[in-house]
């Protein structure tokens, strides 16, 4: 019985960011080993959704997912084989001893963990890279740092441009919990340089979500002042959304009309968002859109000046 011990030992180290093993990583590795126990001589190790859920719970036990924990789970997806159906041969076991697999539910659980904690692994790599690249594209690498920052607990995001021959290696060192990253530039004539820190919002919606919300709102052919979607009581709104709702209530009382409403809309992938209508001024109505977790997406404004979208609007968190 081969449990891929060396694979998981190596997954906690490597790269430019040395990771100090701790009990949480050990717990994740042990949970993976338990899930990969071979049940019979004619079977290979396999991880199902329930087992991956236990693995993910161990990784998220302290309220964050470290690079070492994420790498262990990511290695399962990279080294394993996704079960897409049952195709039995006469061989017993059907595959070599080091073969292991996971089902679609396990893959979904792993990717949900990566997305929930905004870490760059699995299907979440490109989404995180897109957000980091957007910050760099808008603001550059940030101020130069004389001393190399601590990389403990930071996730690596490769930003190297493969089209530039002999160009430098560019890596973002990301702390998803703090919401910031440093840029490490190496391989060029200047040696190794660091820049930052750069702030980044990893849990709010990306530009693709904002575009979908705009298209969805337009398809409803509704004024920004109208109630949108299935009505939701303010008491059931996330804290930030409810705070914005109360702000719009105060605005409405000031003008003596136009009490706000809150509704729920569904996006193409089945996820839900909140829409809160309200009064912006005596001539402008507005609808603010939030994710299911309460992060602002965008705001639609409708008034004498016409209809428009605003990607930057008064944030009730401030």
Closest to 149 in 3D by CA, of 173, 167, 116: 173
Phi, psi of 284 (to 5 degrees): -130, 125
Query: Per mean pLDDT, which range of 9-18, 36-45, 72-81, 133-142 is the poorest?
Result: 9-18
Strand duo 144-145 + 191-199: pairing: antiparallel
User: Which residue in this structure is represented by tokens 């605003």?
Assistant: 310
157 vs 255, higher pLDDT: 157
45-55 pLDDT per residue, tens:
889 999 999 99
- Determine the pLDDT at residue 2: 35
Model's pTM, two decimal places?
0.64
Using a 10 angstrom Cβ sphere, with 0-12 exposed, 13-18 middle and 19 or more buried, the burial of residue 143 is: exposed
- Determine the pLDDT at residue 217: 82
- Determine the pLDDT at residue 17: 39
9-49 pLDDT per residue, tens:
333 333 333 344 456 899 999 999 999 887 666 667 889 99
Do residues 100 and 47 lie in contact, with contact meaning Cβ atoms separated by under 8 Å? yes
Closest to 227 in 3D by CA, of 267, 259, 268, 266: 259
Distance CA 160, CA 183 (A): 11
Residues 155-165 have a mean pLDDT of 92
Residues 46, 50, 53, 58, CA torsion sign = negative
Distance CA 285, CA 186 (A): 51
Residues 260, 266, 267, 273, CA torsion sign = positive
């Amino acid at each position: 019985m081969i449990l891929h011990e060396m694979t998981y030992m190596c997954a906690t180290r490597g790269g430019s960011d040395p990771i100090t093993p701790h009990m949480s990583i050990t717990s994740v590795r042990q949970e993976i080993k338990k899930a990969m126990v071979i049940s019979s001589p004619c079977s290979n190790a396999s991880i199902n959704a329930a087992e991956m859920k236990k693995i993910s719970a161990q990784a998220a036990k302290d309220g964050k997912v470290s690079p070492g924990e994420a790498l262990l789970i990511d290695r399962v997806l990279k080294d394993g084989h996704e079960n897409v159906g049952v195709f039995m041969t006469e061989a017993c076991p059907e595959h070599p001893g080091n073969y292991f697999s996971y089902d679609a539910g396990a893959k979904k659980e792993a990717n949900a963990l990566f997305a929930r904690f905004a870490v760059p692994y699995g299907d979440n790599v490109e989404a995180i890279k897109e957000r980091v690249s957007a910050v760099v594209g808008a603001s550059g690498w940030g101020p130069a740092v004389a001393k190399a920052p601590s990389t403990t607990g930071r996730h690596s995001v490769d930003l190297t441009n493969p089209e530039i021959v002999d160009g430098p290696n560019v890596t973002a060192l990301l702390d998803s919990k703090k919401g910031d990253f440093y840029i490490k530039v190496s391989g060029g004539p200047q040696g190794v340089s660091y820049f930052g820190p750069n702030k980044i919002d990893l849990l709010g919606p990306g530009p693709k979500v904002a575009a979908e919300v705009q298209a969805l709102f337009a398809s409803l052919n509704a004024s920004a002042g109208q109630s949108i979607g299935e009505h939701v009581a303010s008491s059931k709104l996330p804290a930030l959304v409810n705070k914005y709702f109360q702000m719009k209530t105060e605005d409405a009382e000031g003008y003596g009309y136009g009490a706000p409403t809150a509704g729920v809309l569904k996006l193409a992938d089945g996820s839900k968002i909140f829409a809160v209508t309200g009064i912006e001024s005596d001539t402008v109505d507005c609808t603010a859109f939030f994710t299911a977790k309460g992060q602002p997406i965008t705001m639609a404004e409708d008034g004498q000046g016409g209809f428009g979208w605003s990607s930057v609007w008064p944030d009730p968190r401030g």
